[in-house]
Amino acid sequence: MSENQNPQTNQRTVTTTAEQPRTTTAGETDERTRDAWTAYDFDGDAKMTVEDLDVYYGDDHALKGVSMEIPERSVTALIGPSGCGKSTYLRCLNRMNDRIPSARIDGSVRFDGQEIYQDGVNLVELRKRVGMVFQSPNPFPKSIRENIAYGPQKHGDLDTGLLARLLNRSDAAERDELVERCLRDAALWDEVHDRLDDNALGLSGGQQQRLCIARCLSVDPEIILMDEPASALDPIATAKIEDLIADLAEEYTVVIVTHNMQQAARISDQTAVFLTGGELVEYGDTDRVFEDPHSERVEDYITGKFG
Amino acid sequence: MPRDRYQHSLDELRSDVLSMGETVTERLDESLEALERRDDALARAVIDGDAQVNETYLELEEQCVDLFALQQPVAGDLRFVTASFKIITELERIGDLAVNLANYALAARQTVTPDVEIDALGTAAHGLVERSLAAYETADAAACRAVAAADDEVDARCQHANEHVTRALIARTDDRWSVERLLDDVSRVLLTIRDLERVADHAVNIAARTLYMIESDPELLY
- Give the single-character DSSP code of B25: H
Which residues of chain B make contact with A290, given a CB cutoff of 8 A? 74-75, 78
Residue B204 distance to chain A (closest CA, Å): 22
Report helix, strand and coil shares of chain A as percent, to nearest 5.
40, 20, 35
- Categorise residue A27: left if φ over 0, alpha if ψ from -120 to 50, beta otherwise: left
Nearest-CA distance A147 → chain B (Å)? 39
State residue B148's pLDDT score: 96
In the structure, what pLDDT confidence band is assigned to residue A307 with cuts at 50, 70 and 90? low
CA distance A92 to A123: 12
Q: Quick check: helix, strand or coil at residue A114?
A: strand
pLDDT score, position A15:
34
Chain A, window 186-205: residues with a beta carbon less than 8 angstroms from a chain B beta carbon? none
Q: State the pLDDT at residue A10.
A: 35
Residue B208, number of CB atoms within 10 A of its CB: 25
Distance of alpha carbon B38 from its chain centroid, rounded?
21
Cα B35 to Cα A186: distance, rounded to the nearest angstrom: 70
Disruptive mutation site among A292, A296, A298 for chain B (greatest number of B CBs within 10 Å): A292
Residue A88 sits in a domain whose CATH number is 3.40.50.300
Q: What domains lie within chain B, and their CATH numbers?
A: 4-215 (1.20.58.220)
Using CA atoms, how far apart are residues A69 and A41, in angstroms rounded to an integer? 9
Tell me what pLDDT residue A2 has: 39
The predicted pLDDT at position A20 comes to: 43
Q: Other C-beta atoms within 10 Å of A1: how many?
A: 11
SS3 assignment, position B57: helix
C-alpha B213: how far from chain center: 19
Using DSSP's 3-state secondary structure scheme, residue B216 falls into coil
Strand, coil or helix: A140: coil
What is the least distance, in Å, from the CA of A146 to any CA of chain B? Answer: 42
Asked if B101 contacts B35 with a C-beta cutoff of 8 angstroms, the reply is yes
Looking at residue B208, its pLDDT comes to 97
Q: Is residue A21 part of a domain?
A: yes
Given a contact cutoff of 8 angstroms between Cβ atoms, the answer to whether A69 and A39 are in contact is no
Q: Which of A63, A51, A65 is nearest to A8 (CA)?
A: A65
Higher local confidence (pLDDT), A154 or A159: A154
CB of A290 within 8 Å of any CB in chain B? yes
Distance from CA of B188 to the nearest CA of A (A): 45
Binned average pLDDT, 10 residues per bin, chain B of 222 residues: 84 97 97 92 97 97 94 94 98 98 85 74 97 98 96 95 87 73 83 96 97 90 74
Going by C-alpha positions, the residue among A4, A11, A39, A27 that lies closest to residue A295 is: A39
B76–A299 CB contact, under 8 Å: yes
A294 within a domain of the structure (yes/no): yes
**Choice between B181 and A238, residue whose per-residue pLDDT is larger:** A238
Sign, CA dihedral A144-A147-A148-A154, equals: positive
* Contact across the interface for A293 and B75, Cβ inside 8 Å: yes
Contact with chain B for residue A63, Cβ under 8 A: no
Q: What is the ipTM of this complex?
A: 0.75
Q: What are phi and psi of A157, to 5 degrees?
A: -75, -20
For residue A289, what pLDDT is reported? 95
Q: Cβ separation of B74 and A292 shorter than 8 Å?
A: no
Residue A178 in domain = no
**DSSP conformational letter for A44:** S
Decide if A290 and B74 are in contact by the 8 Å CB cutoff.
yes
* Side chain identity at residue A124, one-letter code: V
Cα Rg of chain A, angstroms: 21
Q: Which one-letter amino acid corresponds to residue A211?
A: L
For the stretch A73-130, pLDDT in tens is: 999 999 999 999 999 999 999 999 888 899 999 999 999 999 999 999 999 999 999 9
Give residue B156's pLDDT.
96
Q: Give residue A213's pLDDT.
A: 95
In a domain, A148, yes or no: no
Nearest to A261 by CA among A307, A210, A223: A307
What residues have CB less than 8 Å from A200, skipping those under 6 apart? Answer: A139, A140, A141, A142, A143, A144, A147, A208, A211
Q: Does B69 touch chain A (CB under 8 A)?
A: no
The structural domain count of chain A equals 1
Across A40-66, average pLDDT? 93
User: Running DSSP on this structure, what letter comes out for residue A276?
Assistant: T
Report if residue A162 sits inside a domain: no
Domain of A261 in residue numbering reads as 2-139+203-302
The answer to whether residue A194 is domain-embedded is no
Flag whether A163 is in a domain: no
A307 vs B: CB within 8 A: yes
Contact B74 A291 (CB under 8 A): yes
- Give the pLDDT of residue B184: 79
pLDDT > 90? residue A66: yes
Most confidently modeled range among A182-186, A242-246, B94-98: B94-98
Lowest mean pLDDT, pick from A1-10, A195-204, A250-259, B162-171: A1-10
Instruction: Judge whether A280 and A274 are in contact, CB under 8 Å.
Output: yes
Half-sphere exposure of A43 (CA within 13 A, CB side): 1
Close Cβ partners of A83 (under 8 Å, ≥ 6 residues apart): A276
Mean pLDDT throughout A46-69? 95
Give percent of chain A with pLDDT exceeding 90.
Answer: 70
B68 touches chain A (CB under 8 A): no
Task: Say what the pLDDT of residue A210 is.
Answer: 95
Query: What is chain A's mean pLDDT, rounded?
Result: 86
Instruction: Return the pLDDT at A60.
Output: 93
- Cβ-Cβ contacts under 8 Å for B99 (sequence gap 6 or more): B27, B31, B46, B47, B50
Q: Which residues contact A252 (CB under 8 A, 6 or more apart)?
A: A73, A221, A222, A223, A224
For residue B76, count other CB atoms closer than 10 A to its CB: 22
Name which of B3, B72, B78 is nearest A262 (Cβ-Cβ). Answer: B72
Whether residue A174 is contained in a domain is answered as no
Q: What does DSSP assign to residue B174?
A: T
Q: Tell which wins on pLDDT, A172 or A242.
A: A242
| CB within 8 Å: A291 and B216 | yes
Q: How far is CA B208 from CA B153, B194, B218, in A?
A: 17, 21, 7
Cβ pair B74:A306 closer than 8 A? no
